[in-house]
Chains A and B, each alone.
Chain A
Amino acid sequence: MGLADSLDTYLELAGTLFAIGTFGFLARRNAISMLMSIELMLNAVNLAIVAFGAFIPALKDRGAVIALMVIAVAAAEATVGLAIVIAIFRNRKTPLVDEYDAMRR
């Protein structure tokens, strides 16, 4: 059957995870939920990168290096993003993004 030996399996898995993350980012009202959805999308991309590294000989070993870089950048992104959410929460007293409407009024 070779499910684990086919690149398409992993790419579809990554696509599904990315779509779930997209749905969460568009549909959730809580700012931290949106950040968690972004983490899901980053993980989906990482899975695709590692899968390409494992199945394309020209990318062998380099896929894993790129994935490690993506993980480090995602850590930086999470730090700054959560700091921004906490700073906004201190000002507005709510984590719900549709109440951040100071520039719309």
Chain B
Amino acid sequence: MRAWLYLIAAAIAGGIVTTPAILVFFLFGGSTDDALLAALATLMIVAALAVVTMKDIIRCGLAMIVCFLSLAGIYVVLGAPMVAATQVLVYIGAISVLILFAIMLTQDKVAPSRLVFQTQAVPAAIAAIILAVLISLAAIGTDWHAVTSRLRVATDALATILFKDYTLPFEVVSVLLLAAVVGGVFIAKREDPSEGEI
């Protein structure tokens, strides 16, 4: 019985993701890239909504991985494969794993559902919707002098710029990462070794 429920849930999830792609591809006559972008965007938005609304925080972390993965796909559609690879390596490989570790270190009993949201959740939702509308209006209303086809980012050109024009920021970022690692270890380490396990 439970297996059937999982199958039905998987079918519904697949339908939610593929329906926009099929609509864009066949009804509105979009290209393959349009259909791919529609599917990835839907998956990303649904996963992001799951991150902020689900009760079980471990599932929130897993939904965040799905969100990052579909965002990496959108980077590929945009013509920036290097950024997509970095997204997978750093966000999924490092940050998500770090967050899952922190969840498992700090999670105790399953919190009752009324503990998931603050009392200001409804005003927060209204403010977020207003923010989304404002950003959309500003993005559409501004003339960005954009071209109408995507410019591909060549990885060798990217390397040239990164190590010629942006050498100083690159080195500063490496020092920042070192400082963050040292600071993180210092903050999270136990002051008194005789203190109990967390």
- Residues of A whose CB lies within 8 Å of any CB of B are 1-24, 26-33, 35-37, 39-40, 43, 46-47, 50-57, 60-65, 67-69, 71-80, 82-87, 89-90, 95-96, 98
Contacts and interface: CB of A to CB of B under 8 A. Distances in A.
A96 B115 contact: yes
Interface residues of B, number: 94
Contacts of A30: 57, 111, 116
A27 B127 CA distance: 11
B126 to A, nearest CB: 9
A85 B106 contact: yes
A8 B139 contact: yes
Contacts of A75: 90, 94-95, 177, 180
A61 B29 contact: no
Given A27-B52, A28-B52, A76 B151 contact: no
Given A29-B118, A71-B87, A78-B99, A61 B188 contact: no
The 4 tightest CB contacts between A and B, nearest first, are: A15-B135, A24-B52, A76-B180, A19-B132
Contacts of B181: 79
Interface stretch (B1-9, B11-19, B70-78): B70-78
A22 B128 contact: yes
Nearest to B44: A17
B173 A3 contact: no
Contact of B153 (A17, A36, A64): A64
Contact of A19 (B24, B80, B128, B146): B128
Given A1-B30, A36-B60, A62-B161, A55 B102 contact: no
Given A15-B139, A19-B128, A47 B74 contact: yes
Interface string B101-124: 111011100010001111011001
A18 B71 CA distance: 13
Contacts of A13: 41, 44-45, 74
Between A2, A23, A78, A80, the greatest number of chain B beta carbons within 10 A of the residue's beta carbon is seen for A23
Nearest to A13: B41
Interface string B123-147: 0110111011001100110001111
Given A32-B103, A68-B162, A86-B198, 10 more contacts: A7-B146, A26-B127, A29-B116, A36-B64, A40-B67, A53-B80, A56-B145, A63-B153, A75-B90, A83-B185
A69 B147 CA distance: 25
Contacts of B36: 4
Contact of B117 (A29, A40, A86): A29
Given A39-B64, A56-B147, A64-B153, A72 B41 contact: no
